[in-house]
Amino acid sequence: MKEKIFGGLEVFAKTMVQPLMYLSSAGILMVIGVLLTNDMITGMIPFLQWEPIQIFGKLIYNCVMVIINNLAVIFAIGIPAAIAKKEKHKAALIGFMSYIMYLTASNTMLTSLDQLATGSDMLGLTGTGQASILGIQIVDTSVFGGIILGCITGYVFNRTSEKRFKGALQIYSGANFSFICMFFVSIIFGVVSNLVWPLAQQGIASIANVIKNTGTFGLFLYGFLERILVPTGLHHLIYTPFQFSDLGGVLQVGTDTVAGAYAIVMTEIGLPVERFSDSIYYMATGFTKMFGYIGIGMAFIHTAYKHNKKKVKATVIPLVVTAILASVTEPLDFMFAFVAPLLFVVHAAIAGLFIALLKIFDVTAFCGGNLLASLIMNVTVGVEKTHWPVMIILGIVQILVYFVVFSFLIKKFNLKTPGREDEETSKDKEPAKTINFDTDIVNIIEGLGGKENINTVENCITRLRVNVKDENKINEDMINLTPNSGIVRKGKDIQIIFGLHVPDVRRAVESYLEAC
């Protein structure tokens, strides 16, 4: 049982990473778009104000944001492809079709029951509990819906894609049968999510009054919930009421009444007040985006296995820069939210703690999430009104707290954060001798007990990972006829260390198994 649980968690960790593997490249492109269109940068370099450059910058930014805003779709496609044992392309296609059927089912329910929300000019559907995905308005389950449906699709595909019928029903065999199963699953998932998810949304919304009436602790709770609920999409129901309704405060300016933290802060910028009002603390959800993610990235790089550090740096650094300059944290969040949930809970607690500390140290600086914009605004408004130097000090402290706490927890509990998916040994570093793919692959398969004994074949950075039906049929002497750097056995999970050319070995093994 223990082996199954940990094996399942390991598979889930790997399937979550694969749909996100391109986001580091997307992140660095987004940073370029932000820099080309940032008002401060263009003010310093007038050449960048040239209209073609501005259009180019917007094209880059918007084309990356469409990926970020549709992560649920990417998960719904990528997870089935990662889980599927065979015909991964068919699993991915069924995952996409299942997701759009789920979207349509949710929208049909909302339309039939006259429950479609009407968005505002400023916020759109944000805060209504609904969202528009691929142009279809649904109950907002954020990436959670894509992840759940993706996992279901992968599981159903593996269980049904080899089903064969006879006679006239033969056309419905294989992947067609998987599609038929997912057709009904998608509809049921859409209907159930419409019934269940609004209850969760109502529960979150009811917490708003607790946050408002519990002072500094309420600010901690506000920051904690805003981060911990990111994977579910329910975080919108935390910050939106405070930033855009009277829950965030009310300001009387002459005969006009201004409500909501955002409107109050924007109004107070032009007023001769000594300091911003306490409403500004509800705008501080960007504090951790500006500082904390630097510490998170440093911890991931520091704790990565030595042979993975360069790869982790190349992946994590662009995502950290994206969080700092573009306030987009989801790509980095989803790299550990599901594979290391303990770490994500701690992350949310630290984020909430530092919003409370801003209040305790009387810091009323603007922490909008974009570091450049926040610094410019705070310097322009002045130290007396914002106490922004203390914000910088707290930011440095937060970076150190994240680095120390994350590094300790990752090592203490051997969490599978970026660069730690593979167990480092000296054998992993030793390059295996050249493999003859025409003859040596047969030795591997026979040593694993033959085709009938092999359940799944995968690989990590250096190891061929095989799950077998009967570990007693393993013949290590036969396997070792093929040059390798070692064999690691964990029950039915067999790992053969081949080094960095292991993807070629895996493809050769899969090709041989298909040809048999």
Which residues are annotated as catalytic?
Answer: 460
DSSP state of 124: B
How far is the C-alpha of 359 from the C-alpha of 215, rounded, in Å? 9
Other beta carbons within 10 Å of 360: 11
**With left for phi above 0 and alpha for psi between -120 and 50, is residue 365 left, alpha or beta?**
beta
- Phi, then psi, of 362 in degrees rounded to 5: 55, 40
Q: Provide the total of helices (H) and of strands (E) in the chain, helices listed first.
A: 23, 8
Distance, first Cα to last Cα, the chain? 32
- Phi, then psi, of 250 in degrees rounded to 5: -135, 135
Q: Which of 115, 369, 362 is CA-nearest to residue 243?
A: 369
How far is the C-alpha of 133 from the C-alpha of 100, rounded, in Å? 9
Q: Output Rg (C-alpha) for the chain, integer angstroms.
A: 26
Query: Within the chain, what is the greatest distance between any pair of CA atoms?
Result: 88
Q: Which of 30, 88, 92, 37 is CA-nearest to residue 64?
A: 30
Tokens of 78: 């990528």
How far is the C-alpha of 44 from the C-alpha of 35, rounded, in Å? 11
CB 227 within 8 A of CB 288: yes
**With left for phi above 0 and alpha for psi between -120 and 50, is residue 397 left, alpha or beta?**
alpha
Q: Which of 394, 344, 341 is CA-nearest to residue 367?
A: 394
What are the residues facing 490 on neighbouring strands?
493
Give the three-class secondary structure for 490. strand
The DSSP element (H or E) to which 495 belongs, if any, is strand 493-497
- Phi, then psi, of 481 in degrees rounded to 5: -65, -20
Torsion angle, alpha carbons of 292, 359, 390, 285, to 10: 30
Contacts of 225 (CB under 8 A, 6+ apart): 204, 207, 211, 235, 238, 348, 352
**With left for phi above 0 and alpha for psi between -120 and 50, is residue 38 left, alpha or beta?**
beta
Tokens of 124: 């759109």
CB 370 within 8 A of CB 286: yes
